[in-house]
Structure 1
């Protein structure tokens, strides 16, 4: 099958979260199965230095009045995946991140920036003659490409099937109505059954309503978003179109995330050489100047520091564990008050707590290899990737039972591979950490749980058959 895959970020070119990991790995896995996948993404500042030399440039004109949109044909050197980069200096070449400025505020023209990406995506999907390659399926991801489904709808022509994947429903890409005219979309789409969203217009809602199939990144999250608690104002819309909705769990690129082959950790290890994980633990403690007592557990956090991720609960539950000799290693950034609170915890326990604000890919690998347990007490979690990485490294996740965490981490069963609690309270989290510490003291029991974790197969190869079946069914129905 020929699949056009559109995303606003793709690893290893640019990454702010899990979307980039998925967009970087799923197309590669599909290509390994023999499918013909091409990517499209904006040419942000610095991206051209990370790709192969440009083979062809196609001028799509100046539909938004901000300068010509150029489609640059190239490929990603690391995996040879073909990619079209949408170049427009006024829209994409900025020193800050892909979505927000240096103050953490959304760019005021994000509606134009991602309408342009969506328009180019829809144009490419409809007019394969532009690149002498006609897609069979268009795969959109999150609100930034959701407008593409609206363009195809507004052009009122027969077009290829469209899949929209929701990585996080909370980010719905909604904008003020006075900005709508600049997208050049038809006002016919502005109904409650279209892309209108509580008096605004939403790129994500467009992607949902006008898609032929909707996927989320885990089966449990697909059920949760039909409820007011998790639906973020879109549960009514999703209930009306739930026949299009399915949950397919994200995979992991084990070429990047496996302790046997990871070049970013001090010592490689496997199930057969699990004791070598201790070398990584000691190295992590030394790197951070923490107490080197290997008989006590080391907990980790690798996350955006937000209340969505339940990181306020960790602050409440952790001091009691630190008093018992535990250590805590934190990597992340987010809400300023949470950043300050974690730095204060580090000040109070300088020999037991290390906090780094920011995100450093190589350091996140060293943490996964060096800690004993990973804390993920999320209030909601569409899929979660850090727990999947942790499992592979024999690092036991402590998770709240929600979304993809509920689908991948188990306790109290023969295949127990972590620790699970149900209510988002510091008391329940503290009880789960207590169970973890008790298990840690029973080395035989702990190692059995580590082996269960490391045997879990969450490779992309394991899930591509589900994607292939979905694409095939859409093509057959078209």
Structure 2
């Protein structure tokens, strides 16, 4: 199959979050299996600066956006068997950040139209066009409405993956024609209308042949009538075409048996030794004393959604029970300041790094005993699966992908447990998880069994990629 991934970000060229990991890792696995994959994405300033010498200009053309005439250049490079096509336009993309501008809707309207035009300019007749989130959401609308009589596009099939339903690409109906040169009839008929505006995400849900999200439980949550994301009525129309497929993790990057970022490599056989050696190194990194204590780690964006307030509310409890807490992340200033204050109060037991460091993240995964992830909502989650790979037991709230990937220890399921979980997003739930973790830490035999359970899990991308291939094939009659 010939597959076009259309995304706003992808490793190894640019990343702001998990979307970049997913688009690259899924594409890489599909190539390994034998599919032809190309990733279409914007040429941001950071890419031009860091990788410009690796890019080859292969096409250029004008892009019409109502009264606007912009120019697009298409650059190509290859990485891990994947073809990357970058859409260049300095007016829209030669900026310091990926997102967060007042004209983001216009920027990605240009990108979407340019990708449609690039398909034909490059002669790229995709079997499947796989869209990721809201940014390219209008692509199937454009092709099905404006190119329906063009035989070049006759056999294009569209799949949408919803990674973050909180962002829906909302804009006033005026710009339906002003950006995309589409008729207001699409709004009036309800095809692209969402809450008295246009939504690129809703449009993609309606116009794509298949829709996926990144876990089974998150699919059910999005379909629920009380879903906070407000997409249930739209997705209900497509229920039979809507699936959940859990993300994988990159086993080459996250491998305790060969990880150069950790102090002591290990496997399931010598996991106890490996954890202790890496714990010593982790504590030493923050100038904290090693006392044989349990270490609770956190690698996360510091936002309300991630349950950071539940963690800060229970920090005093953890410290008084002899534990240490290591936090890596950045986000909401108020939460950053609260965490800094906690370090000032418990400087002998808390290590904090505000920002991100891949090397330190690996050491936290390897050196912690427990990994904190008490999210309010979590479509899939990657951190809990990485933690399991390193034998670090996740403490999660059961939601979305966390519910699908964690079999929480309850005292009776030692042979199958691979973490700790609780139901309710409140301090009592968090307390339950921490109490259970502290008790489990004292039972070294049980702790070792659950660590090994976690490390045996198959979280590779191959399983996910095969599910996507099955989805693609259902569209192609294979």
The TM-score, its normalising length taken from structure 2, stands at: 0.94
Task: Give the unaligned 5+ runs of structure 1.
Answer: 101-106
Answering whether residue 154 of structure 2 is matched by residue 154 of structure 1, we say no
Residue number in structure 2 paired with 1:426:
427
- 1:212 alignment partner in structure 2: 209
In structure 1, distance between residues paired with 2:253 and 2:161: 23
Selected match of 2:275 from 249, 274, 277 = 277
Matched ranges for 1:34-433 at <5 A: 34-48=34-48, 49-50=50-51, 53-64=54-65, 65=68, 67-76=70-79, 79-95=80-96, 97-100=97-100, 107-125=101-119, 127=120, 130-157=121-148, 158-180=154-176, 181-191=178-188, 193-274=190-271, 275-294=273-292, 296-411=293-408, 412=410, 413=413, 414-433=415-434
* Cα displacement (A) at 1:21: 0.5
Please report how far the alpha carbon of residue 120 of structure 1 lies from its aligned counterpart in structure 2 after TM superposition.
2.3
The 2-side partners of 1:192 and 1:308 are apart by 35
Alignment correspondent of 2:455: 454
Q: How far did residue 176 of structure 1 move?
A: 3.3
- Could you say what secondary structure the match of 2:38 adopts? strand
Q: What are the Cα deviations for residues 315-370 of structure 1, in whole angstroms up to 9, with x where unaligned?
A: 11221111111111111122221111111111111111122222222221111111
Which residue number in structure 2 is paired with residue 31 of structure 1?
31
Deviations 1:216-256 (A, max 9, x none): 00011011101244351211111121111000000111001
CA contact (8 A) 2:57 2:73 kept: no
Q: Secondary structure at the match of 2:59?
A: strand
CA distance in 2, matches of 1:66, 1:330: 48
CA distance in 2, matches of 1:443, 1:193: 59
Report the count of equivalent residues: 464
Provide the rounded CA distance (Å) in 1 between the counterparts of 2:29 and 2:207: 27
Instruction: Give the drift of 1:51.
Output: 6.6
Counterparts of 2:424 and 2:52, CA distance in 1 = 45
In 2, distance between residues paired with 1:321 and 1:231?
Answer: 32
Q: Distance in 2 between matches of 1:308 and 1:172?
A: 17
Q: What TM-score comes out, normalization by structure 1 length?
A: 0.94
Whole-Å Cα distance in 1 between the matches of residues 181 and 254 of structure 2?
43
RMSD, aligned α-carbons: 1.6
The 2-side partners of 1:449 and 1:253 are apart by 22
Q: Which residue of 2 aligns with 1:103?
A: none
Distance 2:267 2:52 in 1: 33
Superimposed CA distance per residue, residues 183-229 of structure 1 (whole angstroms, 9 cap, x where no aligned partner): 33332221473222212211111111111000000011011101244
Report if aligned partners of 1:315, 1:342 keep a CA contact under 8 Å in 2: yes
